[in-house]
Amino acid sequence: MSPYAHIAGWGMYAPARVLSNQDLEHMVDTTDEWIRSRTGIVERRIAGEKESTATMAVEAARRALARAHLSPRQLDAIIVATISPDHLTPATACLVQAALGADKAAAFDVSAGCSGFIYALSLAQMGITAGEWHSVLIIGAETLSRFVNWEDRNTCVLFGDGAGALVLTASDQPGGVLACVLGADGSGADLLVIPAGGSRMPASPATLEQHAHTIHMDGRAVFRFATHILPEAVEQVMRKAGLPLTAIDMVIPHQANMRIIEAARKKLRLPEEAFFVNLYRYGNTSAASIPIALCEVADHGLINDGSLVVLVGFGAGLTWGAAAVRWGVALPQPARPWWQRALYIARLAFGRLPAFLRRLLYRLWQALPSRRDEE
């Protein structure tokens, strides 16, 4: 019998700096009322100078691992969903792996826009149910504030920074991730795009002058796509799970726009309390929005053991995805001796040390004269 993929831990990180609509009034031609009425956003978080997608992902991951009572060395895989990686290569997941000291884990990124976290969740579920992985860390993390044109009021008011993480583990108990659906329509690739920085349009003085390294979006077209696909994805995943819409206890949608969320809710004929919204606090954090929202739902006790939760996202690509999850509260962990607790905290705190030592040894080895040099 195939194992089930259960959520064992969750954690989020939001930067300390808050950028309010009133702050934006002094930066671009906009108003608090204009932003609220069109998006529902009141404020968003902005990464600090020393913060990046990887550093925020690490903070969220540590909190998720601590809640799951899991050591980084027990992880089989780390998947980071992001469209704002630290580098084109290596993968941000590899930076996270080194920082955590998860030296036994495979590590890779997923780029599927705002749907990325659902894609990562689906991959983790498939790896666990196939018996390939036992424990998987998935993270949605973004530093979108560095990819927006702060002179474009149509896009700069929308996005924020942050990270959310889940730990999934294998279990023989029914529940956890019941079903996932994924989809894409590449014919809409130009509707939401960062044009430059890749092989098609390498960086140049012209691309910098044209703000081609920032997010470009056809807002109306994306709105039409989202209001159609969000409720359809919810219906698809519930059919795949073999459950009626009335069985849903909570829908956690991608936090992009309040009007999109409300339109989807009405199409699904679900009550307001069935949809969780924290958009007004964080703005659109792309792949991080769903895990951040799920963390807040769990931390505030808005779902209980046995609750049916639907996670649903849509984004650049165009992509979409949904997951039906039977929430299960982890069994209380037996109290551990003080020295085990201290060792666990030390492992999380000094997770970078093994990677640092390996790099140091590699550089020393490179510096040693070879036989060819001696000859």
* DSSP state at residue 284: B
Cα–Cα distance, 100 to 5 (Å, whole number) = 22
Segment (H or E) for 317: none
Choosing from 94, 156, 254, 257, which is the catalytic residue? Answer: 254
Using CA atoms, how far residue 94 sits from 6, 89, 102, 137, 179, in Å, is 24, 10, 10, 12, 28
Cα–Cα distance, 45 to 159 (Å, whole number) = 9
Cα–Cα distance, 296 to 165 (Å, whole number) = 12
Annotation marks residue 114 as catalytic: yes
Choosing from 6, 180, 284, 295, which is the catalytic residue? Answer: 284
Choosing from 94, 114, 156, 180, which is the catalytic residue? Answer: 114
Q: Residue 304, exposed/middle/buried by CB under 10 A (0-12, 13-18, 19+)? A: exposed
Cα–Cα distance, 64 to 164 (Å, whole number) = 9
Cα–Cα distance, 92 to 78 (Å, whole number) = 10
Segment (H or E) for 181: strand 176-184
Annotation marks residue 284 as catalytic: yes
Active-site residue list = 114, 254, 284
